[in-house]
């Protein structure tokens, strides 16, 4: 690719400076751009010897303006995206190549130590916990208690007070939360096993009476300017007999400017990125008797079919993370979908694969992508939480600064040397899927999005009374959420 760019200019007897080269290389469709640039230069300024970054920039700006003009003329058609866009795409965090173990037990202690230290560091930043001591030290003194620990047990007394057992490297202690202490008790009801919390209270014999439970939490973030649109989808389940191919085709037509009313086409025209948060295909052997519900029974074929669909979305950067139906190991963090399974998708030059979870930057907007397997555990464990309201779960995970706090339930977590599911950096957008039900909330400035599904209700979901919201696609258009319906 790199040599192709240079060779083409050499053939045309045009020299490139470094900034021009970088700008061209960073384009999604750089070879098309090279061809059109050479044609443009040889016709309009045949004497040009050195192509600078500024010329490339001006050329693209003019091209964009021409597109807008076309848009406002007679019809919209797909030509609006014929010119490649200038992406600023970066992968900020990806666990694909940072997974060192097969999830073997010997690494469990380093995994938990990593989790504890990362979260304790975040908690120690908090004003109210800056003087925290070890549990051992707190219990050897007689004054106020200010500690940070990982939750290893939660239960109730017979009088319905709450008991939370926490531990650090020095020891463990039993924390009692009185049920008449409403505010703290209510917080304690949301505490789950294996999360790391701060406890402020007083010593009472061998117990700690809690006055406050502290989460690592998130500060309010500033709104960033966004002059483009990003589309969020997940749970497409290509290969399943319940995959809504008609709706997905309409979605693709819309992105290409060929579907929808004027306002919807206007949004389509702004789309620069599509983020896919897992379950792109239905996979095989994911649940018992799945083959009865598959129209494509080979996982390679499912990805080839996916490549045909996504191949119809040119000039938009597509980012794909795996889910529990994809061809990646099940334990999280899940490495990116491997090339062996998805050759056709790997051939699409505007498509990028990342791990689950992963953090990417889209023109400076940080998007944390997580499929959402841990929502099953949260919905099962915490009163008031459900698949229907994944926004409440996302808010809670953000405050806990961990994507899958509960260890050893339905969410298989790989016991790596490092815990990759700690939310170390606050994203601008947290994008999840898995529950097949759309949700959206703004929490402290962070967009919390669940992108629903393109699969209608399955037999499995009927049993669990899960009613999916199908083919409804969230788009952040210039900073605000729009929902588009492709039913």
Under the rule (CB under 6 A), what is the footprint of ligand D5M? 235, 279, 324-325, 376, 387, 410, 434-436, 461, 464, 466
CB 321 within 8 A of CB 96: no
CB under 5 to 8 A by kind: which of Fe ion, ligand D5M, Zn ion, none does 461 bind? ligand D5M
CB 476 within 8 A of CB 458: no
Q: Does 326 bind Fe ion (CB under 5 A)?
A: no
- Shortest spacing between CB 178 and ligand D5M, in angstroms: 34
**Number of residues near Fe ion (by CB under 5 A):** 2
Q: Does 357 bind Zn ion (CB under 5 A)?
A: no
Closer residue to Fe ion in complex, CB, 280/475? 280
Q: Which two tokens stand for residue 29?
A: 């469709």
Q: Can you give the three-state secondary structure of 160-200, one letter per residue?
A: CCEEEEEEECCEEEEEEECCCCHHHHHHHCCCCCCCEEEEE
CB under 5 to 8 A by kind: which of Zn ion, Fe ion, ligand D5M, none does 435 bind? ligand D5M
Closer residue to Fe ion in complex, CB, 235/391? 235
Among 195, 235, 282, 419, binds Fe ion (CB under 5 A): 235
Closer residue to ligand D5M in complex, CB, 116/248? 248
Among 239, 260, 314, 323, binds Zn ion (CB under 5 A): 323
Cβ-defined contacts of 67-70 (< 8 Å, 24+): none
Distances (CA, A) of 168 to 150, 290, 375, 395: 6, 44, 26, 26
Q: Which two tokens stand for residue 241?
A: 């007999």
Q: Which helix (H) or strand (E) holds 116?
A: helix 108-124
Q: Which helix (H) or strand (E) holds 68?
A: helix 53-72
Closer residue to ligand D5M in complex, CB, 120/371? 371
**Residues in contact with 285: Cβ distance below 8 Å, sequence separation at least 6, in sequence order:** none
Closer residue to Fe ion in complex, CB, 279/391? 279
CB 195 within 8 A of CB 402: yes
**Residues in contact with 44: Cβ distance below 8 Å, sequence separation at least 6, in sequence order:** none
Binding letters toward Fe ion, positions 185-224, x by CB under 5 A = ----------------------------------------
- Shortest spacing between CB 474 and Fe ion, in angstroms: 16
CB under 5 to 8 A by kind: which of ligand D5M, Fe ion, Zn ion, none does 300 bind? none
Closer residue to ligand D5M in complex, CB, 279/396? 279
Interface with Zn ion (CB under 5 A): 279, 323-324, 434
Interface with Fe ion (CB under 5 A): 235, 279
């Amino acid at each position: 690719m790199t040599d192709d760019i240079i060779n083409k200019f050499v053939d045309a007897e045009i020299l490139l400076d470094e900034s021009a080269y970088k700008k061209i290389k960073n384009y999604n469709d750089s070879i098309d751009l090279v061809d059109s640039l050479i044609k443009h230069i040889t016709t309009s300024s045949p004497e040009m010897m050195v192509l600078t970054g500024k010329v490339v920039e001006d050329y693209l700006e003019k091209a964009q303006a021409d597109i807008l003009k076309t848009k406002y003329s007679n019809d919209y058609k797909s030509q609006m995206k014929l010119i490649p866009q200038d992406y600023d795409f970066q992968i900020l965090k990806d666990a694909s190549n940072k997974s060192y173990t097969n999830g073997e037990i010997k690494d469990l202690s380093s995994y938990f130590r990593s989790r504890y230290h990362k979260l304790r560091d975040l908690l120690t930043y908090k004003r109210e916990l800056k003087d925290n001591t070890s549990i051992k030290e707190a219990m050897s003194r007689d004054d106020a208690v200010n500690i940070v620990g990982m939750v290893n047990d939660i239960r109730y007394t017979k009088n319905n007070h709450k008991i939370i057992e926490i531990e650090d490297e020095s020891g463990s202690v039993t924390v009692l939360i009185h049920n008449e202490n409403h505010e703290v008790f209510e917080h304690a009801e949301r505490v789950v096993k294996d999360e790391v919390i701060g406890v402020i209270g007083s010593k009472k014999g061998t117990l700690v009476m809690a006055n406050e439970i502290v989460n690592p939490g998130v500060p309010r973030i500033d709104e960033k300017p966004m002059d483009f649109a990003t589309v969020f989808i997940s749970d497409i389940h290509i290969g399943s007999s319940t995959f809504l191919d008609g709706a997905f085709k309409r979605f693709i037509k819309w992105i290409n400017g060929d579907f929808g009313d004027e306002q919807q086409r206007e949004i389509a025209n702004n789309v620069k990125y599509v983020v896919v948060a897992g379950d792109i295909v239905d996979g095989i052997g994911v649940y018992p008797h799945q083959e009865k519900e598959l129209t494509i029974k080979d996982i390679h074929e499912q990805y080839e079919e996916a490549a045909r669909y996504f191949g119809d979305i040119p000039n938009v950067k597509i980012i794909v993370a795996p889910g529990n139906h994809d061809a990646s190991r099940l334990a999280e963090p899940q490495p990116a979908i491997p090339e062996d399974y998805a050759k056709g998708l790997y051939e699409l030059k505007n498509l990028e694969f990342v791990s689950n979870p992963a953090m990417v930057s889209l023109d400076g907007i940080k998007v944390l992508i997580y499929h959402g397997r841990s929502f099953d555990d949260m919905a099962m464990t915490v009163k008031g939480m459900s698949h229907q309201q994944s926004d409440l779960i996302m808010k809670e995970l953000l405050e806990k600064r961990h994507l899958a706090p509960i260890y050893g339930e339905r969410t298989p977590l790989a016991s790596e040397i490092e815990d990759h599911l700690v939310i170390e950096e606050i994203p601008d957008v947290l994008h999840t899927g898995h529950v097949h039900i759309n949700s959206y909330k703004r929490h402290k400035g962070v967009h919390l999005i669940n992108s629903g599904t393109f699969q209608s209700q399955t037999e499995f979901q009927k049993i669990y009374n899960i009613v999916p919201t199908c083919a409804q696609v969230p788009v952040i258009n210039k900073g605000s959420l729009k929902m588009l319906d492709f039913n």
